[in-house]
Amino acid sequence: MDRECTERKIRLQELSGKKGRYRECNGKSKTPMIILGIETSCDETAAAVVVDGKRILSSVIASQVATHHPYGGVVPELASRKHIEAIVPVVNTALSDAGMDSKDLDAVAVTCGPGLVGALLVGFCFAKAFSFALEIPWVGINHLEGHIHSVFLEPDPPPFPFVVLLASGGHTGIYHVTSHTRYEIMGQTRDDAAGEAYDKVAKMLGLGYPGGAVIDRLAGEGDPDRLVFPRPFIDKTTFDFSFSGLKTAVGRYIQTHKDDYLQQIPDIVAGFQEAVVDVLSYKIVQAAMSRGCRHIAIVGGVAANKRLREKVADDGGRNDLKVHIPSVDLCGDNAAMIAAIGYHYLKNGTASGLSDDVFSKIGRIQAPCVPALK
């Protein structure tokens, strides 16, 4: 038996030996609780097995980038079809990677929104049927709460309260987090999300979809100070963001340099990135200081950005803040983060019912304080 198999077997023995009964989900459960997480809100089909909301036994992500790449963005109908093809193999792989059978699971946590409704329904209906058949509880999870919980999958998570910047393709906001299930929104984007700005700028420059990782790489070859794009602070006293003006400024530069912009791409993306990162880093640090919090975190797809990670670490350190950043694998959409927050709801006796449904968008005030759960 190879080392990996031996480790899995030991892990399984260790877990099954101590496992209590969680099937009633009565809030009196003892550890460990083994949760299958499922995520299908956009263009990744993901499943993960996580113990006690913090120990990842497996995490599988089937990306649809190749499918959507020719269209320069996610095509919702194609996304749903791809999730249908992938959901069963992805869940099976997550279980086998964890060395488990479906009967070893105590509960299921699944993203119920926000996201593309047709895409969400695939994971959500799968989770409902799967847990119904296994007679185990399941819980619908707000995707944004999932992202915030990616920091709890790391060895040194922040203590409460802390302030977190969530920057992804669909959302950009700052939250004051006082417990696993209580968040107060301090500010959010008034137009484009930070990741959306990366994707749109990449599209204008013909760099393909998704643009964040490409810009991250190309910016390293450019001079961030040669082209100075506007810093969209809006107003230094609020923690809201606005990225659409910056995106337009890059578009205008491209139009006025039609003949030679192609030779300037590294400098253009480096200048654009520096503007985004300056604003994000400034606002998260100011938000934490305004609440007297000593711990900050950055999460979401954009938190994978090298320059943002470096700048927040520097600015945070200079202001005596402890900075928490999940590993790059946990920044983008994944199911481990969904299982991580699912644990806290299930442990407290919160579970979903068969009549529950998915949702596409959340209002400015609620997000993500009300996870749309019964």
Residues forming the site for Mg ion (CB under 5 A): 168, 333
Q: How far is the CB of 71 from Mg ion (least distance, A)?
A: 19
Q: How far is the CB of 277 from Mg ion (least distance, A)?
A: 19
Q: How far is the CB of 140 from ligand ADP (least distance, A)?
A: 16
**Binding partner of residue 199 among ligand ADP, Mg ion, none, CB cut-off 5 to 8 Å per kind:** ligand ADP
Q: From residue 11, how far is each of 14, 30, 55, 94, 289 by CA, in Å?
A: 5, 18, 11, 15, 42
Instruction: Give the span between the Cα atoms of 100 and 156, in whole angstroms.
Output: 27
Q: How far is the CB of 4 from ligand ADP (least distance, A)?
A: 27
**Binding partner of residue 305 among ligand ADP, Mg ion, none, CB cut-off 5 to 8 Å per kind:** ligand ADP
Q: Which is nearer to ligand ADP, 50 or 302 (CB)?
A: 302
Q: Which is nearer to Mg ion, 209 or 229 (CB)?
A: 209
Q: How far is the CB of 23 from ligand ADP (least distance, A)?
A: 31
DSSP β-ladder status, 162-167 and 55-63 = unpaired
**Binding partner of residue 210 among Mg ion, ligand ADP, none, CB cut-off 5 to 8 Å per kind:** ligand ADP
Instruction: Give the span between the Cα atoms of 281 and 170, in whole angstroms.
Output: 19
Q: DSSP 3-state assignment of 296?
A: strand
Alpha helices (runs of H) in the chain, residue ranges in sequence order: 3-18, 65-68, 76-97, 117-134, 143-148, 194-204, 212-219, 244-256, 265-291, 306-318, 336-347
**Binding partner of residue 195 among Mg ion, ligand ADP, none, CB cut-off 5 to 8 Å per kind:** ligand ADP
Q: DSSP 3-state assignment of 186?
A: strand
Q: Which is nearer to ligand ADP, 113 or 169 (CB)?
A: 169
**Binding partner of residue 175 among ligand ADP, Mg ion, none, CB cut-off 5 to 8 Å per kind:** none
Q: Look up residue 159 and give its DSSP letter.
A: P
Q: Which is nearer to Mg ion, 324 or 347 (CB)?
A: 324
First to last CA, the chain: 45
Q: Which is nearer to ligand ADP, 170 or 187 (CB)?
A: 170
Q: How far is the CB of 286 from Mg ion (least distance, A)?
A: 24
Long-range contact list for 310-314, CB < 8 A, 24+ apart? Answer: 311/277, 311/278, 311/281, 312/165, 312/280, 312/281, 312/284, 312/285
Task: Please report, as ranges, the residues that interact with ligand ADP according to CB under 6 A.
Answer: 42, 168-170, 195-196, 198-199, 210-213, 216, 300-302, 304-305, 332-333
